[in-house]
Amino acid sequence: MTKIRKAYKFRLKTNRETEEQLTRICGSARYVWNKSLAMNLERLEKGQGMLWYRELAFWLRLWKCSEEYGFVKECPSQVLQQKLMDQERAFCDAFDKSQPLKRLPIFKKKGRGDGIRFPQGYKLENRRIFLPKIGWVGFFKSQPVEGKVKNITVTTRAGKWYASVQVEQDLDIGKHPSDSEIGIDAGIKCFAAFSDGTLVEGVNSFRKHEERLAREQQKLSRKKKGSQNWKKQKSKISRLHHTIANLRSDFLHKLTIDISKNQAKVYVERLNIMGMSSSARGTKEEPGRNVRAKSGLNKSILDQGWGEFKRQLVYKLDWNGGELVEVNSRYTSQMCSFCGHVSKENRRSQSIFGCQVCGHEENADINAAKNILTVGQTGLACRANRNSDRQQEPAGIREGVLPVA
């Protein structure tokens, strides 16, 4: 049995009083984060030692007793303690050289990423949740909660409040019920092409709402910043962004669940999404070319959600006993899946592949997916053979063999 962590996200049934309570608690938690962060950043500038969780917890008790910061007593202590723990973890990640995108923690702004976590004191009963200092709050129960509840995180987005219930489950991960393997080629016009000939059209949620979003943003630019009409319009834009994100997330979850249940091994191309979506603007001295066209391509690339697609496939396949394998996609779009001939001329157009040697014609994305499957299977077979040969060699020879990546 393997222990896994899983989260169920539900929308809360809040009223005005509950929303005001949640807003005040989020405000107190945000204030404690910013206050402690300012203290640590100041100490770093002066070359002094950091204040970690235990020291900050002592300061938190002093703030609660003071008249100036006494309002934080309205917030549950565990919520504030969780914020201090999160900040300690953020500083540890910032100083960790193995982190690829390490940076110092930043100050939190009102309405951006507001969230509070309850590690204890909560109750979960049918279609309602009990939260400390808030009381019982109903929620829309879209699915049953299975496993032992570890914590509950309450967040807000686009004027709605959500509760993420994290549970711990004992999962018996055995062999995948299917022995099938498949290669997947990611694209823009076609979100994914499978090596079995299946084509999956993308939802393109941003592109479908792009014109409407531009109109709403133009309306916002004509309003006085900070006015009531400006706030209403900004809230409207936030709801539209939320709709775009929900459409993309729903599409990716349904697709990855279907793949993880039916495929034991999935081969995908290794993509550098950050490099692919980088700007072509350049500098004043050396301006880029086709900046507008590249900007449109970047929007389409990010609209697909390839990174999230791969992230979901990894853990869902793992839960079902499957495996995700990344392969080098070099020349897979130019190589014939029938005879193996590689040439630029084989790719007649964006969607048509025609081999110049054997005359094989096929959809270009499906041909690439077949090549990804072949490359992945060949790479695993070669690696398995090298490992078995290494085990059969004498110890003196094995020591001089370089490790296989």
Query: Hey, which residues are catalytic here?
Result: 185, 269, 365
Closest CA to 219 of 235, 203, 204, 206: 235
Neighbours of 98 (CB within 10 A): 6
Contact 151, 118 (CB under 8 A): yes
> Are the beta carbons of 77 and 127 closer than 8 angstroms?
no
Quick one: 341 exposed, middle or buried, by C-beta within 10 A (0-12, 13-18, 19+)?
middle
The CA-atom distances, in angstroms, between 19 and each of 112, 121, 134 are 16, 19, 10
Q: Give the HSE-up count for residue 155: Cα atoms under 13 Å, Cβ half-sphere.
A: 10
What does residue 394 show for φ and ψ, rounded to 5 degrees? -65, 160
Residue at 33: amino acid letter: W
Q: Which two tokens stand for residue 183?
A: 């290669």
Cβ(173)–Cβ(319) below 8 Å: yes
- Provide the strand spans (E) within 247-312: 265-269
Helix (H) or strand (E) holding 4: strand 2-13
- Neighbouring CB atoms inside 10 A of 300's CB total 16
Q: How would you label 123-145 residue by residue, b for 16+ Cβ within 10 Å and e otherwise?
A: ebeeeebebbebeebebeeeeee
Torsion-angle region of residue 113: left (phi > 0), alpha (psi -120 to 50) or beta? left
Confirm if 42 and 107 have CB atoms less than 8 A apart: no
CB–CB of 174/272 below 8 Å?
no
Residue 216 near residue 240 (C-beta atoms within 8 A):
yes
Strand, coil or helix: what is 327?
strand
E strands within 141-250? 148-157, 160-171, 181-186, 192-194, 199-200
DSSP at 287: B
> CA 405, CA 328: separation in Å to the nearest integer?
13
